[in-house]
Amino acid sequence: MACGLGPALQFAIRLAHNGTRVDPGLAAARDAQKSRLEAGGAGKWPLIKVEPGARLKQPELAQTLEAIAFEGRAGFYGGQVAAEMLKVLSEGGSDMTEADLERPAAMITTPVAVAFADHVVHVQPPASQGALLAMCLAAWEAGDYTSAERAHVGVELTLAVFEYRDEIARGIDLLSEVLEIDRAHASLKDGPRSYLHTAGVCTSDAEGRSAASLVSVFDDFGSGVFLPRSGFVLNNRGGGFTSKGNAFAPGKRPVHTLAPALVTGPSGTCAISTPGADGQVQSLLQVMLDWLASGTSLTDAVAAPRWRSEDGKLLVEKGHPALDDLSRNGHRTVPTEAGDMRFGAITAAGRHGNTPFALADWRRTTWAGVA
């Protein structure tokens, strides 16, 4: 392979060539979005007709991945893939040009880091809303809260930090904001939204290097605009544009929900992430409060029942010990089935001393392994 990405892409190329089983969840999402996908040019995509349990082969996608493996960035932002992308976008009314695709795409900057419970939590800088998690952790550290207040205070902190979402470009400066919350009464702010999607991957190698990542096309099948020769749909992360500092303008990047984290401390490093859009900050906060602030094992912290604020309601996983307390605090609680996908699906990997570990949530479809 001519590009350093070649070895990393070999497994994905093989899956695209040989096929993967279509699980019921993917089939259901396809059925729900079928008319939108067909309108976006996906009528001949093999996924449209494959039955649950059958094998989906995607030779066009394999070819695209091979181009990236051999040519790196040029295999995607140039050549056949770029030409098809510009053609399809132009047919839809876009003014995107070759010059737009030639501009550097990656943002490589310093993480936002916050000290928390004898550890340091590193989150992605803008344009990720990971800084909202750092704000919550900093506020908890400064607030002298008790374990009995953990659920209510956690909810109120997330509602408070989401008021700063459109100001994410300020990055680490947001940590200087003082979050005013009522320790006993629900504020009933709208706060986070009800988006769900994303896929999280965490890994750690024998040399102690760890990585936490998230990838998302935003909505189910992104924009629904399909590139038949290249074998994939275009995303619609631009749907994250809102107002104020995050208003639409040429050259700007929308604040996005992807918020993986790295936790470093006395015993080693842990990469951790979860899907769930605005729920990412909330799920990670709950795990870190249980694990780092309260001394629960990471395994038990991930397994524990969770809550999630969305659109003014508070979903509470059945079996949560604070459900009654949250209701008494005045939250609009909605008891929700345990394992509901809105509570996320934590993945984690790292090293505890010299011992490698990997962990997967019991929610959603996740895997973990150590080799």
Mean pLDDT, residues 241-269: 88
Tokens 């795990």 -> residue: 287
Average pLDDT of the chain is 93
Q: Answer yes or no: is pLDDT of 2 > 80.
A: no
Token pair of 280 as six digits: 């990412």
- CA trace torsion 54, 59, 64, 65 (10° rounding): 60
Q: Answer yes or no: is pLDDT of 1 > 50.
A: no
Is 366 buried (19+), middle (13-18) or exposed (0-12) by CB count in 10 A?
A: middle
Helices (H), the chain: 6-18, 24-39, 59-71, 74-77, 79-91, 98-102, 131-143, 150-161, 279-288, 298-303, 323-328
pLDDT of residue 284: 98
Return d(Cα 58, Cα 8) in angstroms, integer: 18
Residues 300-344 have pLDDT tens digits of: 999 999 999 999 999 999 999 999 999 999 999 999 999 999 999
Return d(Cα 3, Cα 74) in angstroms, integer: 10
Tokens 């209701």 -> residue: 327
Helix (H, G, I), strand (E, B) or coil at 124: coil
Residues 196-236 have pLDDT tens digits of: 778 899 999 988 899 999 988 888 999 999 999 999 999 99
CA 150 to chain centre: 24
Residue from 296, 294, 304 nearest 363 by CA:
304
Return d(Cα 23, Cα 25) in angstroms, integer: 6
Angle between helices 6-18 and 59-71 in degrees, nearest 10: 170
Residue 204 phi/psi, 5-degree rounding, is -150, 140
Q: Answer yes or no: is pLDDT of 118 > 50.
A: yes
Domains in the chain with CATH codes: 112-198+256-360 (3.60.20)
Residue from 333, 329, 334, 304 nearest 319 by CA:
304
User: What global pTM score does this model have?
Assistant: 0.92
H or E stretch covering 20? strand 20-21
Mean pLDDT, residues 278-287: 96
pLDDT of residue 194: 84
